[in-house]
Amino acid sequence: MIDGMHCSSCEILIERTALRVKGILSVASSYATSTAKIVYDPDRIDETELPQALSLAGYRARLRTDDRPDNDNRQSLLRLLTGVGLTLLVMMLYLAFFYPTNLGLVELQELAPVGWLAFYAAPRAMFVLSTILVFYVGAPILRGAWIGLRVGVLNMDNLLAIAILAAYGYSVGQLLTGSLDLYFDVASVIVAVVTTGRYFEQGEKTRAIRELTQIIDAWSPTARVRKDNELLTESVDDIEPGDRIVIREGESIPVDGTVITGQAAINESLMTGEPFPVTRGPGGKVLGGTVIIEGSLEIEVGPAVESQIDNLARILWNVQSSAAGAQGLADRIARIFVPVVLILAAFVTGWAFLGGSQPAAALSAGLATLIVSCPCTFGLAIPLTTAVAVSTALRHGLFITSANTFLKSPRIDIVAIDKTGTLSRGEMTVVKVLGPPEIAEYAAAVECLSPHPIAEAIARLTSQRIATDLDTHPGKGAIATVDNRRVAVGSKSLFAMLGWDIPGRLTDLADAARPDDSVVSYVGWDGCAHGAIITRDQHRPGWAQAVDRLRKNYRIVLLTGAEHPCGYEERVDEVYAGVPPAAKAAVIRQLQREGTVVMIGDGSNDAPALAEADLGIAFGAPTALAADAADVVIPGERLERIFDAFELINVTRRRVRQNIGWALLYNAIAIPLAVTGLLNPLFAALAMASSSLLVVWNSSRRIGSADWISPPVEIPRTGHPLLRSRSPT
């Protein structure tokens, strides 16, 4: 983890510097997540030495396993409040004494009664206020410019620093010579505007980093390890091959292993996408990251300590760190724009001086060129627009995880959709009850005592009867006493174990009535099954209409870890079923050869595909890993809100391009005027401010309208998504 990364240039500086350290073989750093992945030779450098090797130029590096300090944004908030407050004071002094005289509205003689205040105190007050603004509030801008110079890459901070220091330095020089041709206002406004925009941008980035850290930490639980007939609590990092681990009901399985003793129903939907729990007994394989919902197990760790969830996190990191980082469009423009403006300003100053102009006039012409080409419009074009879009999204229950989402390809060719939890709700429901009326009542009474997902669905059937003496058989069903009868509810294997009979007529009736993706639970007493209850994963309301609407414009691919598409294939163009997590990312890469791909999913098994896709959307009740991998998170039940996200992204992208286009047009007109001497620094500052205000207005306009943006939604307070899969303890 790298604290203090300021811009995409930080990636280059960290990578170039780290590679000079003996023993470090490769470095991949990510500004978006403030993380660096290091490949090193342990014979030449120890792991504990890596943080020191990467802690340079104000960065602070630490291993991801180290405790992360709580984020403290008080310094940034203080800079913001100081910048806004002092800039208002500077502008009030200009409005009181300087702008009226510069515009010819007030003659200098009319200020004679307050001459000391206007011509002595006010300029020096502005000097003091601007000095604090430039060197305290604007310190991150100056540091970013210095980093850019160190790595030889000109970025937006270079332009900002040049304009700020030029206006400030020129004003200080004028003040020392007794002139009142001051431009402290220009320097102050630039610092305040940029600081305000970056404060909100940094808040979003910090939140994203915190979520990523929580994911890593949440999946590093402790484990009960049996050693010498004692149960010891150890960190997963201390688990060794061959260790025996005891996992109880409601707990997650920390690492992959083989069941030694016990039997349990395990929820593997987090990893495989299958909605139905599976039963694992002695000899069965279990995956790290899955959850025991019934029973308990003792597992043995294999020859390698592995966790499926850890593998997914590694795949996710490889996808996210393979990009060049958060190099914004504005920074790319600046790399060309900065040297051009510098050369132009120097040329104008030299040309005016050689042409016989006074040094002050020559410097004024050069300063006007720098000021009028101040990159505030570039600097504001993206952050303000995206800030408004993120705010609009949050008010309507859409979560944008990265500002880069708005800069991605506008064309969508293929939409890949996960099944379980996306097209379906991932919750079981009763679809059919076969047998006499008491079947539902007896079954509901028994299943009220069981935590199994199928049992929960059956328990929702109304019952006035009370069950006692529950006896559960994980993965098979349960038996309890109802009305002095021992009532069994479960699978064929439960009835076979009990030696109870299931009439062939009932079996045929159940097979004929059950859909492909359903589960049959038989209900019986007195040694015989008298009925059956069919349950299935619920379809998400409106899924068919949403898919049909998508299909009008895009090619639709069903991409699921479940073995059966369960009827959803009828409304899509292509189906990939039984696809494991790592292979989902490979399928997305294959589809990307044919066009731009959007991936919609909810589970951790979807995370690699969400990160690999050109646009990833985590929908429904996504796991934390899926939410972090996605560009957009849409909680709730309404699948049609995907179209709100599409529209929001498109509108924001258009607005960013409008701002960039205006910035380029403005500079194309204003810079020639400044170069030819038709624009003095004052009017250059006014032109710059007007241009920035136009961008601010365009960026702050309301995005969308009531006809396409869904009304604000209430997000259930369910806590961190990952923790919902954990034991209540």
CB-CB contact of 619 with 601 (8 Å): yes
| DSSP output for 434-501 | ES-THHHHHHHHHHTT---HHHHHHHTS-----EEEEEEETTTEEEEEETTEEEEEE-HHHHHHHT-B
Q: Give the model confidence (pLDDT) of 1-23 as tens digits.
A: 887 776 556 777 777 778 888 99
More confident residue, 172 or 354: 172
Catalytic annotation, pick one of 185, 256, 331, 418: 418
Q: Give the model confidence (pLDDT) of 396-414 as tens digits.
A: 767 777 667 777 767 889 9
- pLDDT interval class at 727 (50, 70, 90): very low
Express the helix, strand and coil content of the chain in percent, nearest 5 each: 50, 20, 30
Q: Could you give the angle at which helices 184-218 and 156-176 cross, rounded to 10 degrees?
A: 150
- pLDDT interval class at 557 (50, 70, 90): very high
Most confident of 15-24, 518-527, 568-577, 638-647: 518-527
Strand partners, 224: 233, 246
pLDDT of residue 611: 85
Distance CA 146, CA 152 (A): 10
CA distances from 244 to 51, 268, 375 (A): 34, 21, 62
pLDDT of residue 726: 29
Residue whose entry in the numeric block shows the structure tokens 């999204």 = 393
Q: Give the model confidence (pLDDT) of 455-514 as tens digits.
A: 888 988 877 888 888 888 887 889 999 989 999 999 898 999 999 999 999 998 888 877
pLDDT of residue 308: 56
Residue 556 has pLDDT above 90, yes or no: yes
Contacts of 17 (CB under 8 A, 6+ apart): 54, 56, 57
- pLDDT interval class at 322 (50, 70, 90): very low
| Catalytic annotation present for 469 | no
What would the mean pLDDT of 80-90 be, rounded to a whole number?
92
Residue 589 has pLDDT above 80, yes or no: yes
Nearest C-alpha neighbor of 143 from the set 94, 194, 97: 194
Scanning 250-328, the segments in alpha helix (DSSP H) are 269-272, 308-321
Q: Give the model confidence (pLDDT) of 603-662 as tens digits.
A: 667 888 888 899 988 887 666 666 677 888 887 778 888 898 888 888 888 888 888 888
Distance CA 127, CA 180 (A): 12
Superfamily for 426-539?
A: Calcium-transporting ATPase, cytoplasmic domain N (3.40.1110.10)
Q: Give the model confidence (pLDDT) of 27-84 as tens digits.
A: 877 665 677 888 999 999 998 888 888 876 567 888 866 665 555 567 788 888 999 9
Q: Give the model confidence (pLDDT) of 267-316 as tens digits.
A: 776 565 566 688 889 999 888 877 888 889 999 998 877 665 565 555 45
Q: Give percent of the chain with pLDDT exceeding 90.
A: 19
Scanning 499-573, the segments in alpha helix (DSSP H) are 504-513, 543-551
Nearest C-alpha neighbor of 399 from the set 656, 559, 211: 211
Scanning 71-121, the segments in alpha helix (DSSP H) are 74-93, 99-102, 115-116
Residue range(s) occupied by CATH 3.40.1110.10 in the chain: 426-539
What would the mean pLDDT of 127-138 be, rounded to a whole number?
94
Tokens (6 digits) for 108: 């200098």
pLDDT of residue 103: 67
Tokens (6 digits) for 234: 């150890």
Nearest C-alpha neighbor of 154 from the set 30, 327, 15: 327
Q: Give the model confidence (pLDDT) of 674-694 as tens digits.
A: 887 777 665 766 676 677 667
Q: Which residues of 503-516 are buried (b: 16+ CB within 10 A; e: fewer)?
A: eeebeebbeeebee
CA distances from 519 to 430, 442, 535 (A): 10, 18, 5
What is the reported pTM? 0.59
Residue 136 has pLDDT above 60, yes or no: yes
- pLDDT interval class at 324 (50, 70, 90): very low
pLDDT of residue 666: 81
In degrees and rounded to multiples of 5, residue 612 shows phi and psi of -75, -30
Distance CA 131, CA 470 (A): 76
Average pLDDT, the chain: 78
pLDDT of residue 12: 72
Residue whose entry in the numeric block shows the structure tokens 């992945």 = 37
Distance CA 64, CA 2 (A): 9
Length of the chain (residues): 729
Tell me, which fold does domain 2-64 have in CATH?
Alpha-Beta Plaits (3.30.70)
Nearest C-alpha neighbor of 195 from the set 283, 83, 302: 83
What would the mean pLDDT of 520-546 be, rounded to a whole number?
89
pLDDT of residue 200: 66
Distance CA 476, CA 264 (A): 10
Report the first-to-last Cα separation within the chain, whole angstroms.
Answer: 30
Residue range(s) occupied by CATH 2.70.150.10 in the chain: 222-306
Residue range(s) occupied by CATH 3.40.50.1000 in the chain: 387-424+540-652+711-723
- pLDDT interval class at 370 (50, 70, 90): confident
Q: Which residues of 238-264 are buried (b: 16+ CB within 10 A; e: fewer)?
A: ebeeebbbbbebbbbbbbbbebeebbb
Burial of 5 (0-12, 13-18, 19+ CB in 10 A): buried
Residue 714 has pLDDT above 50, yes or no: no
> Sheet holding 632-635: strands in order across?
399-400, 632-635, 615-620, 597-601, 414-417, 555-559, 574-576
Residue 598 has pLDDT above 90, yes or no: yes
Contacts of 501 (CB under 8 A, 6+ apart): 495, 527, 528, 529
pLDDT of residue 708: 47
- pLDDT interval class at 554 (50, 70, 90): very high
Which CATH class, in words, describes the domain spanning 222-306?
mainly beta
What 3-state class would DSSP assign to 327?
coil
CATH of range 387-424+540-652+711-723; options 3.30.750.24, 3.10.400.10, 3.30.70.141, 3.40.50.1000: 3.40.50.1000
- pLDDT interval class at 729 (50, 70, 90): very low
The answer to which of 236-245, 383-392, 535-544, 708-717 has the lowest mean pLDDT is: 708-717
What would the mean pLDDT of 165-169 be, rounded to a whole number?
87
CA distances from 93 to 117, 378, 474 (A): 10, 28, 78
